[in-house]
């Protein structure tokens, strides 16, 4: 198995005799695993004239997750949420004694899917045998002097049968694209003349499982797309829906006045449980008026191709299901056996200088972990806010090490509050307790404007900011694109 000393640029220097690559550079080798909020931000801020930085990630771009819900319904363009970067591979294993990482290339989405599964199931390989073959698809090893683990988390499905197979997750730009395609497909299917009114209603039911900020924000964006754009693009569906409404017993059900409907399901007693109670009630009331049903204390027992099985309701058909119920540890983190993990979430426990440690509390000073795949002793929420604060701290710390300046004080999370979009130009901002600066909360259009401005400001590159403003303006003036291309 070849060993690359300095990542991609030195691959061609690999010696056939021993499969090892050495680089003349005397810079420290800084290897970053993951190109998400945490990894990407460290890469941007670390002094690259003093570190040789190699980023390893299965996706060749940075996904700005707060804009994914918008991308899934076409409010903004996919290019707005991605930013170019490096070395397309999965980290598979790490040897902390030898300071090496084993990587497997992740080129193309099929390979990425296959690799992800293989990493969990197969521990015995020295060659990759993918369904689709590309040159250079061999495992290789990269040396590091300093390692940053920022591989994020997956989506938890709590072992519910069929959840992974039959629902859409919203984690990557690929996911957003698939969701958008499926929504449009549902409308095309519903427009076929051979469908019964009931079949039409079923295919136009959009289910969202998970009433946290991500699920709620997606439901808000979906509402805008359904009522603002698709209703106009498919006027024929409205009378059909009304016919259906008349044909069912519950004529007063508010959902039956709309040609399609969406529902948020959650096991909790309400949506947005992490927000102030007044704000979660505001959100629930707003959704009700918008025609988005909220079904709390719903226990999903099974997910089938076209329906949910719910303990309280029986079978509930859907055209599309988006699953958003919290975090599951990344398989790479699962594969690490010799480090201390959080008992509940199984992510890596870290010190307040973001270093990992063994079960015996022996700290690895050259290995850092941050973002969703890490847990501080004094817990910080697994959000982009935490990940970017940690990234900023770590870049400062790494720069101080090579510049010989004073290291920053230990990391401390500063809560700037939570916000989420509810659809219909309305957002909520929660700064009600435990926040840096003035406390308070905000709802409505002003909150929406602040929500948009914050994400525009945080969009990392000027190119993305211009692209976002352009797409938001287009959407506002002319509506979203309703074609699948
Ligand atoms: C739809 C959505 C909306 C959100 N909105 C907000 C919001 O408004 N505000 C907020 O604060 N937070 C938000 N979050 C949460 C936020 O996105 C996460 O907390 C944040 O992304 C965590 O950053 P991270 O770098 O730890 O992980 P991620 O951003 O998930 O990045 C992980 C990276 O690691 C890569 N990777 C995975 N496995 C491997 C491997 N084996 N080897 C190498 N690389 C690997 C992934 O491809 C990815 O590039 C949202 C999340 C989602 C899904």
What confidence category does residue 238 fall into, taking pLDDT thresholds of 50, 70 and 90? low
Note whether residue 103 is domain-resident: yes
Lowest mean pLDDT among 9-23, 36-50, 280-294, 378-392: 9-23
For atom 8 of ligand 1, which residue has the closest CA?
66
Is it the case that residue 365 has pLDDT exceeding 90?
A: yes
Whether 362 and 222 share a structural domain: no
Do 317 and 426 fall into the same domain?
A: yes
Q: Tell me the pLDDT band of 382, cut-offs 50, 70 and 90.
A: very high
pLDDT, average across residues 54-70: 80
As a whole number, mean pLDDT of residues 404-420 equals: 92
Q: How far is the CA of 91 from the centre of ligand 1 (A)?
A: 16
Task: Report the percent of the chain where pLDDT is more than 70.
Answer: 79
Q: Is residue 439 part of a domain?
A: yes
Residues 305 and 348 in one domain: no
Which residue among 403, 437, 462 closes a domain? 403
11 and 98 share one domain: yes
- Nearest CA residue ID for atom 11, ligand 1: 384
Per-residue confidence band for 104, with pLDDT thresholds at 50, 70 and 90: confident
- CATH code (residue 360): 3.50.50.100
Which helix (H) or strand (E) is 173 found in, with range? helix 173-190
For ligand 1, atom 46, the nearest C-alpha belongs to: 34
Residue 62 CA: nearest ligand 1 atom is 49
Domain range for 245 is 170-325+419-478
The listed range with the strongest mean pLDDT (7-11, 35-39, 398-402) is: 398-402
Q: Which of 66, 142, 152 to mutate to test the pocket of ligand 1 (most atoms within 8 A of CB)?
A: 152
pLDDT for 111 equals 53
Least confident of 160-169, 259-268, 456-465: 456-465
pLDDT on residue 454: 78
Give the pLDDT confidence score for residue 110 in this predicted structure.
Answer: 52
User: Residues 306, 354: one domain?
Assistant: no
pLDDT tens profile 241-268: 555 455 444 545 544 555 567 899 999 9
* 435, pLDDT greater than 80: no
Q: Which residues contact 105 (CB under 8 A, 6 or more apart)?
A: 88, 89, 111, 128, 134, 136, 137, 138
Say whether both 273 and 212 belong to one domain. yes
CA-151 nearest atom, ligand 1 = 34
Averaged pLDDT, 85-92: 79
Question: Quick check: 82 pLDDT over 60?
Answer: no
CB 292 within 8 A of CB 208: no
- Are residues 469 and 442 part of one domain? yes
* pLDDT exceeds cutoff 60 at 8: no
Please report the pLDDT score of residue 80 as a whole number: 52
- Gap between the Cα atoms of 85 and 392, Å rounded: 18
pLDDT score of 13 more than 70? no
If you average pLDDT over residues 364-379, what whole number do you get?
A: 95
Render pLDDT for 351-360 as a digit per residue (tens, 0 to 9): 999 999 999 9
Number of other residues whose CB lies within 10 A of the CB of residue 48: 12
Whether 73 is in a domain gets the answer yes
Ligand 1 pocket member 215 (CB < 6 A): no
Pairing of strands 140-143, 146-149: unpaired
Of 77-91, 196-210, 429-443, the range with the highest mean pLDDT is 196-210
Q: What's the pLDDT at 136?
A: 60
CA–CA gap between residue 180 and residue 459 (Å, rounded): 22
Task: Check pocket membership of 54 for ligand 1, CB cut-off 6 A.
Answer: no
| pLDDT higher at 281 or 135 | 281
pLDDT at residue 9 in the model: 42
Burial class (CB in 10 A: 0-12, 13-18, 19+), 161: middle
pLDDT at 86 over 80: no
Residue where a domain stops, chosen among 369, 403, 437: 403
Q: State yes or no: pLDDT of 118 exceeds 50.
A: no
| Per-residue tokens: 231 | 């209703």
Q: Flag whether 412 is in a domain.
A: no
Boundary-marking domain end, from 403, 427, 457:
403
Among 420, 427, 462, 463, CA closest to 444? 427
Q: Is residue 163 part of a domain?
A: no
Residues 191 and 336 placed together within one structural domain of the fold? no
With residue 102 as reference, give the H or E element that holds it.
strand 100-105
Q: Which atom of ligand 1 is nearest to the CA of 69?
A: 1
Which has more confidence, 369 or 244?
369
Which region among 82-86, 95-99, 162-166 has the lowest average model confidence (pLDDT)?
A: 82-86
pLDDT of residue 17: 35
Look up residue 97 and give its DSSP letter: T
Same domain, 342 and 474: no
Task: Please name the residue whose Cα sits nearest to atom 39 of ligand 1.
Answer: 151
Could you tell me if residue 408 is inside a domain? no
The reported pLDDT for the residue numbered 19 is 36
**pLDDT per residue as tens digits for the range 172-203:** 888 898 999 999 999 999 989 898 888 888 89
Residue 34 Cβ inside 6 Å of ligand 1? The answer reads: yes
318 shares a domain with 175: yes
The domain tally of the chain equals 2
Ligand 1: does its nearest atom lie under 6 Å from the Cβ of 61? no
Residue 485 covered by a domain: no
Residue 449, pLDDT score: 84
The pairing of beta strand 374-375 with beta strand 348-349: parallel
Average pLDDT score, the chain: 81
**Pairing relation of β-strands 320-323 and 300-303?**
unpaired
CB 224 within 8 A of CB 475: no
User: Which is the closest atom of ligand 1 to the Cα of 90?
Assistant: 42
CB 204 within 8 A of CB 260: yes
pLDDT at 392 over 90: yes
Q: How far apart are CA 342 and CA 374, in angstroms?
A: 8
Q: Is the pLDDT of residue 114 over 80?
A: no
Q: Which atom of ligand 1 is nearest to the CA of 370?
A: 26
- Are 363 and 260 in a shared domain? no
Judge if 180 and 312 occupy the same domain: yes
pLDDT of residue 26: 78
pLDDT digits (tens, 9 = 90+) for 310-335: 999 999 999 999 999 989 989 899 98
Distance CA 258, CA 386 (A): 40
DSSP 213: H
Least confident of 88-102, 277-291, 429-443, 457-471: 457-471
In a domain? residue 483: no
In angstroms, the CA 407 to CA 401 distance is 7
């Amino acid at each position: 198995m070849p060993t690359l000393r300095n990542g991609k640029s030195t691959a061609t220097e690999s010696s056939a005799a021993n499969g090892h690559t050495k680089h003349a550079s005397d810079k420290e080798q800084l290897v970053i695993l993951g190109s998400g909020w945490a990894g990407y931000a460290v890469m941007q801020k670390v002094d690259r004239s003093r570190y040789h930085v190699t980023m390893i990630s299965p996706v060749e771009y940075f996904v700005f997750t707060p804009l994914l819900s918008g991308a899934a319904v076409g409010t903004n363009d996919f290019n707005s949420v991605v930013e170019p970067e490096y070395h397309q591979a999965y980290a598979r294993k790490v040897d902390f004694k030898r300071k090496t990482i084993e990587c497997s290339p992740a080129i193309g989405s099929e390979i990425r899917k296959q690799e992800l599964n293989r990493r969990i199931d197969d521990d015995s390989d020295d060659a990759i045998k993918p369904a689709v073959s590309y040159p250079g698809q061999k495992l290789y090893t990269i040396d590091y002097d300093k390692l940053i683990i920022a591989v994020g988390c997956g989506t938890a499905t709590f072992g519910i049968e069929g959840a992974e197979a039959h629902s859409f997750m919203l984690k990557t730009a690929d996911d957003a694209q698939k969701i958008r395609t499926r929504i449009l497909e549902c409308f095309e299917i519903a427009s076929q003349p051979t469908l019964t009114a009931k079949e039409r209603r079923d295919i136009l039911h959009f289910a969202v499982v998970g009433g946290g900020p991500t699920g709620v924000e997606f439901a808000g964006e979906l509402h805008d797309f359904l009522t603002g754009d698709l209703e106009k693009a498919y006027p024929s569906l409205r009378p059909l829906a009304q016919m259906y409404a008349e044909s069912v017993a519950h004529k007063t059900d508010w959902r039956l006045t709309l040609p399609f409907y969406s529902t948020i399901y959650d096991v909790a007693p309400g949506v947005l449980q992490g927000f102030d109670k007044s704000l979660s009630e505001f959100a629930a009331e707003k959704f009700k008026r918008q025609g988005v049903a909220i079904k709390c204390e719903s226990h999903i027992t099974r997910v089938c191709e076209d329906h949910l099985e719910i303990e309280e309701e029986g079978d509930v058909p859907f055209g599309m299901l988006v699953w958003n119920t919290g975090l599951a540890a990344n398989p790479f983190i699962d594969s690490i056996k010799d480090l201390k993990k959080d008992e509940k979430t199984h992510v890596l426990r870290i010190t307040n200088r973001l270093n990992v440690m063994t079960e015996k509390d022996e700290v690895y000073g050259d290995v850092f972990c941050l973002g969703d795949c890490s847990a501080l002793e004094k817990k910080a929420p697994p959000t982009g806010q935490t990940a970017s604060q940690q990234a900023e701290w770590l870049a400062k710390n790494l720069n101080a090490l090579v510049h010989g300046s004073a290291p920053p004080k230990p990391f401390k999370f500063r809560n700037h509050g939570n916000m989420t979009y509810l659809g219909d130009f309305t957002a909520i901002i929660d700064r009600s307790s435990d926040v840096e600066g003035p406390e308070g909360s905000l709802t409505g259009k002003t909150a929406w404007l602040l929500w948009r401005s914050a994400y525009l400001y945080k969009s990392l590159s000027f190119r993305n900011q211009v692209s976002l403003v352009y797409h938001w303006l287009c959407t506002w003036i002319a509506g979203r694109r309703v074609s699948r291309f």
